[in-house]
Structure 1
Amino acid sequence: MENLTLKICFHNVGDYSQNCKSIIANTVQYILYIYKEQLCMYSIDMIWCEYIWLDHDNNYRSKTRILNSENGVFNIDNVPIWNYDGSSTQQAHGEDSEIYIKPVHMVRDPFRRDRDSWLVLCDTWLPNDNPHPDNTRFVAMKIFSQKQVVEAKPWFGLEQEFFIRKSTKGYPLGMDAKLYQKSQQETIQGQYYCGVGKGNCHGRVLMDEAVVNMVDSGLSINGLNFEVAPGQAEFQIMNEGIVAADELHLARYILIRTAEKLDLSIDMHPKPFKLNLNGSGCHTNYSTKYMRQDGGFTVIKEAIQKLEKTHAEHIAIYGKYNEMRLSGKWETADINTFSSGVADRGASIRIPRFTDRDKKGYLEDRRPSSNMDPYLVTAKIAETTIL
């Protein structure tokens, strides 16, 4: 920019003397210096916070607040409580519409890289300081804050599956009307799983950009891959306790925002198409420190027995429309029947071969749907297996 400005100035100088050119160059440099100084003066202490919360239907809402940093130290404790119009999110009446949002987790904002900017995940509270009925994080914290759970150090690896659509009601990427009709009669999936190349992979630009954004924000992303059905993909995220649920929400938000930029839509319905296609889940890999240490296989088997006894309780909170997905077909178990097995992707609980071989490790709960509430799911698993 500076070189271009100087070039323009010299071009207009014509045959002026070298001394005159030098004066003009110095003047331009001084103007640029003042501009930069003014820019710094107005922006150095400004922190951009994108407050993020869930509405009544578990859709993400967000708005920006620009704060002044007084001491240069900024963390979750410095972010003020804010509020929003709950009557516009189906969470309050117009005559008493304010819902408070309290910051609970923050990461770098990958969408405003030229600013000191943060994504701030919040939970929702009523003005009387009671949690809003939609605040499931408050429910989960009751479990994760218990001494037995804290000492068990529960890890959750969450595999978020979804479809990428050209519009909110359009076909998934890689599918047209002809392929849609064909898939009503026969299976047209398989070639897309971890596919490479034109015709086999759809949405790589989105996935690469979204995961780069997640990593750059500081989230604990483990990877990504394309799934069995056309236009279907997943990313994986892992962390301990309630942080895993917090980070999944932030990762979902980043994915949706990245898709928005590319004029694409993310569909997390567990079975959005009545076709011969896999649905979308959020397989939940789980372990405690007792499962991960020598002799842990006994603890894993005990946990599976506990999960079997509470199967109906888990299914009740494992996601809306999950009955459409858990059909006993398309790599799922029947919703009404609990099962487990080594390397069995048609079971409720899969025991990885490495876990079976090493006699320690983790289990995979394949029942949660793609639209599941991570607070409810992770807390329920911890409650069932630890408490």
Structure 2
Amino acid sequence: MSLLSDLINLNLSDTTEKVIAEYIWIGGSGMDLRSKARTLPGPVSDPSELPKWNYDGSSTGQAPGEDSEVILYPQAIFRDPFRRGNNILVICDAYTPAGEPIPTNKRHAAAKVFSHPDVVAEVPWYGIEQEYTLLQKDIQWPLGWPVGGFPGPQGPYYCGVGADKAFGRDIVDAHYKACIYAGINISGINGEVMPGQWEFQVGPSVGISAGDEIWAARYILERITEIAGVVVSFDPKPIKGDWNGAGAHTNYR
């Protein structure tokens, strides 16, 4: 094992009580994820124990340059499958320094709805089926597809098995296990209709936790594909023509 790998895999709990918290938020496009890390003096189990933090919103398309400070409010905690130990991932939403939610903060309005007594009494369950496509990094073409060309027609790829049908299964399985480790209520995975396309399911999750969990799962997938040198796309129609699209289907009970 290389020295770099040794350092990445250091178990901090052997020498210190300090932990690393990765603060995660949604960027200005509404789909891009951003994150930054900070050191905490010890383990944390509830978002209310975490300090608020700030970032430069002018660099994420969320604030003007002349008044760029945006404040992160911690909202949900997950175990960090990358740093492990007591280290955590923190889902945050974003506010102005005066405490007003910024325009791209959709969680704030959702939290008002889900915290209403009538909604709480309903115990709303959600199951989200998140489809995505794995792309070859340098050419933005689906994984397993010939460069500049097309695979055989759709049919054998959905829930398919075999080197000529399932492309990127190592990434998918790594994501599956990492989500379980993190404490995300991921309920399954499968290959999708278009080759290079996959799906994972989150839920059943109650109320706003469904949104926190799907965004945490997307963040983990982005990190794993970063390591693998592959691009993940949530584009609803990544390839034009008679090829399967991708969505995030929501089931409610």
**Aligned partners of 1:103 and 1:40: how far apart in 2?**
23
**Aligned partners of 2:126 and 2:91: how far apart in 1?**
19
Q: Give, as a single letter, the amino acid of the residue that structure 2 aligns with 1:67.
A: L
Partner of residue 41 from structure 2, selected from 64, 68, 80:
68
What is residue 85 of structure 1 aligned with on the other side? 56
Partner of residue 282 from structure 1, selected from 244, 248, 251:
248
Q: Give, as a single letter, the amino acid of the residue that structure 2 aligns with 1:62.
A: S
Q: Give, as a single letter, the amino acid of the residue that structure 1 aligns with 2:136.
A: K
Q: Which has the higher helix share?
A: 1
Task: Give 1:264 deviation, angstroms.
Answer: 0.4
What is residue 304 of structure 1 aligned with on the other side? none
**Aligned partners of 1:119 and 1:168: how far apart in 2?**
29
**Aligned partners of 2:149 and 2:138: how far apart in 1?**
19
Does residue 165 (structure 1) correspond to residue 135 (structure 2)? The answer is yes
Task: Give 1:95 deviation, angstroms.
Answer: 2.0
What is residue 127 of structure 1 aligned with on the other side? 97
**Aligned partners of 1:73 and 1:63: how far apart in 2?**
17
**Aligned partners of 1:46 and 1:178: how far apart in 2?**
49
What is residue 302 of structure 1 aligned with on the other side? none
Change (3 A) 1:137 1:209: same
Query: CA contact under 8 A between 2:157 and 2:191: conserved in structure 1?
Result: yes
Q: Give, as a single letter, the amino acid of the residue that structure 1 aligns with 2:68.
A: S
What is residue 237 of structure 2 aligned with on the other side? 271
Q: Give, as a single letter, the amino acid of the residue that structure 1 aligns with 2:40.
A: L
What is residue 112 of structure 1 aligned with on the other side? 83
Change (3 A) 1:141 1:45: same
**Aligned partners of 2:90 and 2:22: how far apart in 1?**
6
Does residue 175 (structure 1) correspond to residue 145 (structure 2)? The answer is yes
**Aligned partners of 1:108 and 1:40: how far apart in 2?**
14
Task: Give 1:78 deviation, angstroms.
Answer: 1.2
Task: Give 1:74 deviation, angstroms.
Answer: 3.8
What is the RMSD of the two structures over their aligned residues, measured on CA atoms?
A: 1.7
Partner of residue 52 from structure 1, selected from 20, 24, 46:
24
Partner of residue 256 from structure 1, selected from 205, 218, 222:
222
Query: What SS does the corresponding residue of 1:123 show, helix, strand or coil?
Result: strand
Query: CA contact under 8 A between 2:13 and 2:86: conserved in structure 1?
Result: no
- List alignment gaps of at least 5 residues for structure 1: 1-38, 288-387
Partner of residue 157 from structure 2, selected from 192, 205, 209:
192
TM-score, normalisation: structure 2: 0.90
Which aligned segments of 4 or more residues in structure 1 are displaced greater than 4 angstroms?
A: none
Task: Give 1:40 deviation, angstroms.
Answer: 6.3
Change (3 A) 1:132 1:169: farther
Query: What SS does the corresponding residue of 1:139 show, helix, strand or coil?
Result: helix
**Aligned partners of 1:231 and 1:151: how far apart in 2?**
41
**Aligned partners of 1:40 and 1:241: how far apart in 2?**
34
Q: Which has the higher strand share?
A: 2
The number of aligned residues is 240
Query: What SS does the corresponding residue of 2:194 show, helix, strand or coil?
Result: coil
Q: How does 1:342-357 map to 2 (within 5 A)?
A: none
Query: What SS does the corresponding residue of 1:95 show, helix, strand or coil?
Result: helix
What is residue 117 of structure 2 aligned with on the other side? 147
Does residue 136 (structure 1) correspond to residue 109 (structure 2)? The answer is no
Change (3 A) 1:83 1:233: same
Does residue 201 (structure 1) correspond to residue 166 (structure 2)? The answer is yes
Task: Give 1:179 deviation, angstroms.
Answer: 4.0
Task: Give 1:51 deviation, angstroms.
Answer: 0.3
Change (3 A) 1:40 1:221: closer
What is residue 293 of structure 1 aligned with on the other side? none
Task: Give 1:93 deviation, angstroms.
Answer: 1.7
**Aligned partners of 1:85 and 1:125: how far apart in 2?**
12
Larger Rg: 1
More relative contact order, 1 or 2 (CA 8 Å, 6+ apart)? 2
Query: What SS does the corresponding residue of 1:84 show, helix, strand or coil?
Result: strand
Same amino acid, percent of matched pairs:
43
